[in-house]
Amino acid sequence: MGGGIAAYKVCEVVRHLVESGHMVRVVPTESALRFVGAATWAALSGEPVRSSVWDEVHEVAHVRLGRAADLVLVAPATANLLAAAAGGLADDLLTGILLTARCPVVFVPAMHTEMWEHPATRANVATLRSRGAVVVEPAVGRLTGPDSGPGRLPEPEAITTLARRILARGVTGLAADLAGRRVVVSAGGTREHLDPVRFLGNRSSGRQGYALARAAVARGAEVTVVAANVNLADPAGARLVRVTSAAELRDAVRAAATGADAVVMAAAVADFRPAAPYGAKIKKDPDGGVPPPVALVRTADVLAELTGAGAEPGRVVVGFAAETGGAGRDVLTPAREKLVRKGVDLLVVNEVGESLGFDSPDNAAVVLGADGSETVIPLGPKDALADVVWDLVAARLPPPGAAR
């Protein structure tokens, strides 16, 4: 734990992890103890707290703790701590543990915007990521004093969720296979305004898109989420771009996708928009008359544009197809046609309906591949579906550093 004011928020992270059944050993720097005392960490974790290599030297704590850990979570990770870790310094217990740990290491930065954006910090972050460490993107928001911008520590619940996902992957021996990759995920549902108070929309909550973002961060990727009208806690470690309409989503995805290794279009994007939205609220006819018809026009096909003329070679593109099945309807036949028509590498086909797909914690799907493959994902948490999708994406990515 680094010495930053955001250390107070990590108290909740420790509490959540302990309540989940994990054994947590808090190793603060001397500066961190100026913000939150050792007694607080000991009470929350139920474990002794050490910060110096000179405490109980015979145990060689920096080696023992580093070897025994299933996860090293550095939060808050200050600019100084990132620099020390990148440089391989080991002048206290925490940095010594970082050199001996053979488990996943996650840095959750927190600092002022100018420090986060400084070339030295960016170089240190790149170095740590190149070694397989997960360095999450900080949140954007209020910092100390009147300042606001990138550099805020993500919320404790989001950090805890990230830690749990990485621990779950560690159990199965899976590495950060997306380290060094840039990925874009769209989430939620677009809205097309009819008038200043009404819109055409859909039921997509953004849960699946956010699950995909969380999974990608946990696997080491640099993640940008284009979120359309999502009312969920921000996924820790992802850069968030908020949009409303299909046109705004198109612009944001195109900008973020430049140079990206993968784009996963999980958002439900409107196919049509009103040709001429009303400038004032449409009023009911007091005599019970029928309102005027609304002329619709097609929106841009964002998915097809990503794979069409000028598409970047080597980029893996994943589409989603929400289909309504039942009563003898075959959802895979139109989905296979869509796979070819859109030119995507993978198409995630999920049946939607009441309590199925949209705004539900669970999902089931069949993932169709352009190579003719079919991967069935049984009903389960959306986080589980997200990991299968990234497994399939990772298998299709060119080797790191290969020409694209």
Token pair of 271, please?
């196919």
Determine the angle formed by the axes of helices 93-100 and 79-87, rounding to 10 degrees: 50
Residues 6 or more apart whose CB falls under 8 angstroms from that of 93 comprise 27, 50, 51, 52, 53, 55, 61, 62, 65
Token pair for 198 = 């009404």
And the tokens for 118? 């400084």
Dihedral Cα 307, 310, 312, 317, nearest 10 deg: -10
Q: What is the spatial distance between Cα 379 and Cα 359, in angstroms, rounded to a whole number?
A: 14
Task: Return d(Cα 11, Cα 304) in angstroms, integer.
Answer: 46
Q: Within 10 A of 318 (CB to CB), how many other CB atoms are there? A: 25
Active-site hit among 80, 124, 202, 350: 202
Answer yes or no: are the C-beta atoms of 268 and 243 closer than 8 Å: no
- Output 299-302 pairs: Cβ under 8 A, ≥24 positions apart: 299/192, 299/246, 299/247, 299/250, 299/269, 299/270, 299/271, 299/272, 299/273, 300/246, 300/247, 300/250, 301/342, 302/186, 302/246, 302/249, 302/250, 302/253, 302/254, 302/265, 302/269
Q: Which helix (H) or strand (E) holds 81?
A: helix 79-87
- What's the CA gap between 168 and 154, in Å, rounded? 20
Burial class (CB in 10 A: 0-12, 13-18, 19+), 311: middle
Q: How far is CA 379 from the centre of its chain?
A: 22
Evaluate whether 363 touches 379 at the Cβ level (below 8 Å).
yes
Cβ–Cβ under 8 Å, residues 357 and 340:
no
Which amino acid makes up residue 302? V
**Whether 229 is catalytic:** no
Catalytic residues: 202
